[in-house]
Amino acid sequence: MALQLAQRIDALKASDVREMLKITQRSEIISFAGGLPAPELLPIRELEEATHRVLQEEGAQALQYSTTEGYLPLREKLVARMAARGGVRTSVEEVLITTGAQQALDLTGKLFLDEGDTVICESPTYTGAISALKVFAPRWVEVPTDDEGMDLEALERRLQYCDRVKLIYVVPNFQNPTGTTWSLERRRRFAEIVTQHSVAVVEDDTYGELRFEGLPLPPIKSFDSKGHIVYIGTFSKVLSPGMRIGWLTASSPLYEKYVILKQGSDLHTSTLCQMQISAYLEMFDFDKSLSRMRAVYRERRDAMIRALEKEMPKGVRFSRPSGGLFLWVELPPHMDARELLRRSLELDVAFVPGGSFFPKGNKENTLRLSYSHMPVERIEEGVRRLSAAARGMMSAGTEDARLSGVESAY
């Protein structure tokens, strides 16, 4: 007799990004898929020294159970950093260390969502957020975006007419997947709108410290007057993804419930990893490391944009992000990015098809490219191969149309 599983499992599927990472483990693959930090930027020597100090001076504590809220010195550093960097005023009593930003999303779903509740998001949005929240069987409502962020008139219409809106999920800085950054005016106005409608917001600021150009913009959380916005951050993109250290800050009533949910999930995040990062921040110049990281990623972004401008056929459009790890590509309307991926993999190039970033799975003529993991020469060669695959698809489409007597869409 087959085991009976929860009905919600039937709606779940493996993440396209996670599955793609299995393929990209092969050394010959030029991967534009996962948003992996450049391996040469990982602070291996520094973390070795920090780890030695932690184990030598506080080894018993580092290897022991800890509080659910997280290691106090690390939380204190985060409070100071959030205030200095973006004007987010919070306290250690409102900062919870999580096992990566992904756990913060999972806990948020547990806290806010019942089956059939509405989640509003940017269109497209981060596929990991879709995966984390989809298990709670919400109704997804997408809001279009432009170069300045979410269309706020469209958002207000959806808030007016949609039932059971429990949560809005946004990535205002260098959005995953498009690379878009919200303007200051959009941030202010968005905060006003959600306050008027008394709806909870999750602001995912995973990429906020990776700005290459322009002035830093304050998080939406800095305009939060009612405690409706939950702010999420992580060390995964700027220090080490393998350590799985993220955090959230939320107003006290919400925070207490987050702590209870985390207790039931994993008791607490790795004590050792929290103490390693705290020691690293004390012993080394984190901002200097960030400056080097920004310079490397800016060079790689520029190389990808130049290569796309040179190699991609007419009719292909792409974003030009001012920070982060990704840019967004739109193919002509009738081209399928999954077919392009199949052809590209034959040339040892990988990327993530864009349909993965839409909760309802449309816009299959889009794709996300990451420039963070590959050196410049590999980026240039990868874009050349990807563009050749795109031209091959267009040529095949033109020939098929000619043989059938139908004018090509390209």
Domain of 20: which CATH number? 3.90.1150.10
Which residue, of 283, 312, 334, is where some domain finishes? 283
Query: What is the phi-psi region of residue 267: left when phi exceeds 0, alpha when psi lies from -120 to 50, beta otherwise?
Result: left
Q: Are residues 263 and 131 in the same domain?
A: yes
275-332 pLDDT, tens digit each: 999 999 999 999 999 999 999 999 999 999 999 999 999 999 999 999 999 999 999 9
Instruction: Name every residue whose Cβ is closer than 8 Å to that of residue 115 and which is 6 or more positions away in sequence.
Output: 8, 136, 137, 138
Instruction: Write the single-letter amino acid at 388.
Output: A
Please compute Rg for the chain using Cα positions: 22
Q: Are residues 179 and 231 in the same domain?
A: yes
Residue 15: predicted pLDDT: 65
Residue 19: predicted pLDDT: 66
**409 in a domain, yes or no?**
no
Query: Would you list the DSSP string of 186-224?
Result: HHHHHHHHHHHHT-EEEEE-TTTT-B-SS-----GGGG-
Q: Are residues 205 and 250 in the same domain?
A: yes
242-261 pLDDT, tens digit each: 999 999 999 999 999 999 99
**What's the total number of domains in the chain?**
2
Residue 10: predicted pLDDT: 76
Q: Can you tell me the distance from the alpha carbon of 318 to that of 305, in angstroms, rounded to the nearest whole number? A: 8
Residue with tokens 């009719």: 315
**401 in a domain, yes or no?**
no
Burial class (CB in 10 A: 0-12, 13-18, 19+), 41: middle
**3 in a domain, yes or no?**
no
Which residue, of 245, 266, 283, is where some domain finishes? 283
Residue with tokens 């991967």: 31
99-142 pLDDT, tens digit each: 999 999 999 999 999 999 999 999 999 999 999 999 999 999 99
Residue 87: predicted pLDDT: 87
Residue 408: predicted pLDDT: 33
Q: What dihedral angle (degrees, nearest 10) is formed by the CA atoms of 191, 195, 197, 199?
A: 80
Query: Would you list the DSSP string of 75-98?
Result: HHHHHHHHHHHH-----GGGEEEE
Counting as low any pLDDT under 50, the low residues of the chain are 399, 401-410
Q: Are residues 234 and 96 in the same domain?
A: yes
- The SS3 of residue 334 is coil
Residue 86: predicted pLDDT: 80
Q: Are residues 207 and 250 in the same domain?
A: yes
Q: Are residues 16 and 96 in the same domain?
A: no
Q: Are residues 250 and 192 in the same domain?
A: yes
Which residue, of 283, 308, 336, is where some domain finishes? 283
What is the extent of the structural domain holding 220?
A: 47-283
Residue 407: predicted pLDDT: 41
Domain of 117: which CATH number? 3.40.640.10
Residue 85: predicted pLDDT: 84
**315 in a domain, yes or no?**
yes
Q: Are residues 186 and 72 in the same domain?
A: yes
